[in-house]
A and B are shown apart, each in its own frame.
Chain A
Amino acid sequence: MLLQNRIMLGLILIAMMSALYLIFIMVPTDVNLGVSQRIFYIHVPLAVLSLIPPIIVFITSILYLVRRSPQWDALAHSSVEVGLLFTTLALVTGSIWARPTWGVWWTWDPVLTTFLILWLVYLGYLLIRSYTAEPDKRARFSAIVGILGSINALAVYLASELWRTIHPDKVIGPAAEENALDPAIQLGILVSFIAILLLFAYTIIFRTRLHSAVNQIGSLRDQIDDLVYRISNK
């Protein structure tokens, strides 16, 4: 297990280093935006990967409510934690990118609005976990909040698209990229994406194992208590 972890972390380190090298050295400086464009290479993978946790949470929450096995709850929990981290970073890097590019730190276009709401949903999920004492209730309530929250994020996106297009968008959308033909840029995005994807996957797996281990310790403790009880009553 330890070797596996070390290999994984090693890979991530290599990927990150390559990505950073590509981003800051290899890729040509953008004609219009200058150096600040480079943060885009980190922002895009972060943002794209932030859209995966809601899907995971939705599925695992339903599975938990139906099957009641704690591993689904652990996976949902880790997805939200990682999702919160990645969404925060996406919002921050996006904001930093937006200022020189659009002239504003923030705009209420559908994508940004959805990300903000997603952030709030994650926050709500973690809050309800910390404010519910009994483990069984905690898992059930989080599952309900997770299901509704992920559906809501989708609904907010659709709602914003339908009812907030009064104001003209200043950009096509963060996925659009000028100069996409330059091979160095393509490579930069690809490597950056892989590096952050590896980090994403590793963190979720790691956190899930952690939560599962906590659950297992709890049930082992119960079993030991049982044994002690039986022995002392013979």
Chain B
Amino acid sequence: MTNQFKYAAIECDNVSKHYISERALDHLDISIKTGERLLVIGPNGSGKSTLINVIGGLIRPTKGIIRIHGVDIHKSNPEHRKTIGILTHRPFLYEDFTGRENLTFFGKLFNVPNVSYRIEEIADLFTISHLLDRRVSLLSHGNRKRLGMARTIIHDPNVILLDEPDSGLDTHSLDELARTLGQTLQSKTIVLTSHNVDWALPLVTDVLQLSTRQEALKISIQEYHSLHELRKS
């Protein structure tokens, strides 16, 4: 536990990700402290999803190192992946299983103690308790997203990575998600991407702006507001 405060929660050390046809990330150097909440914004193709996937250990960077609480996640024991909870565009749910079966499976793999109780707890949080015994293929997009969120935090990770968690959600669900992020996940380190800046801004402490020319600018929320007020006037 002390490691949490000794190192930054997330450290990207000269991280680049190049694909054959394009460069998604280039020489990215950012540090995210424990408890910080970072909103990553930028136009399509600026590398937001790639960044989430790279930090989450799903994609190996072409160059550079990602450290979560001081540990290089790509080189270390898979055990360290317990500290991360990630939600990408694909919710990682088995279509033919029910919500409960999906959560049970991932809960077991993540060594969650008292899985069935924990499932009830987070299903309550995302108000999907009544949907738990329905097959995922029969759930609406919004409900799948909520189930995906439940899967993301079932093991109580310290670092939570969310790639456009708000896309396709109705107003009610957006409010619910905002509440969850604001209250239940208060002490966690969160990185999220979103196109809906108005919704996301009140939830975060810092903003990372990516551009299609692989530029990255990390500023605090206050600086972001002042920048925007300057622009308005």
Enumerate chain A interface residues (CB-CB to B < 8 A). Answer: 133-136, 222, 225, 229, 233
Contact = CB atoms under 8 A, between A and B. Distances in A.
B50 to A, nearest CB: 14
Contact of B26 (A133, A135, A136, A229): A229
B interface SS class: loop
Contacts of B214: 229
A134 B20 contact: yes
B18 A222 contact: yes
Contacts of A136: 60
B22 to A, nearest CB: 11
A134 B23 CA distance: 14
Contacts of B20: 133-135
Contacts of A134: 19-20
A220 to B, nearest CB: 14
Interface of B: 18-20, 23, 26-27, 60, 214-215
A interface SS class: helix
Nearest to B60: A136
A229 B27 CA distance: 10
B18 to A, nearest CB: 7
11 contacts: A133-B20, A134-B19, A134-B20, A135-B20, A136-B60, A222-B18, A225-B23, A229-B26, A229-B27, A229-B214, A233-B215
Nearest to A136: B60
Of A134, A136, A222, chain B has the most CB atoms within 10 Å of the CB of A222
B9 to A, nearest CB: 28
A133 B19 CA distance: 10
A232 to B, nearest CB: 9
Contacts of A133: 20
A180 B44 CA distance: 75
Contacts of A135: 20
Contacts of B18: 222
Contacts of B19: 134
Q: Kindly list the 3 A-B residue pairs having the minimum CB-CB distance in the complex, ordered from nearest.
A: A229-B26, A133-B20, A134-B20
Of A133, A225, A229, chain B has the most CB atoms within 10 Å of the CB of A229
Nearest to A222: B18
Contacts of A229: 26-27, 214
Contacts of A222: 18
A98 to B, nearest CB: 46
A133 B20 CA distance: 9
B97 to A, nearest CB: 29
B63 to A, nearest CB: 9
Nearest to B215: A233
Nearest to A229: B26
A222 B20 CA distance: 11
Contacts of B23: 225
A152 to B, nearest CB: 29
A76 to B, nearest CB: 21
A136 B20 CA distance: 11
B24 to A, nearest CB: 13
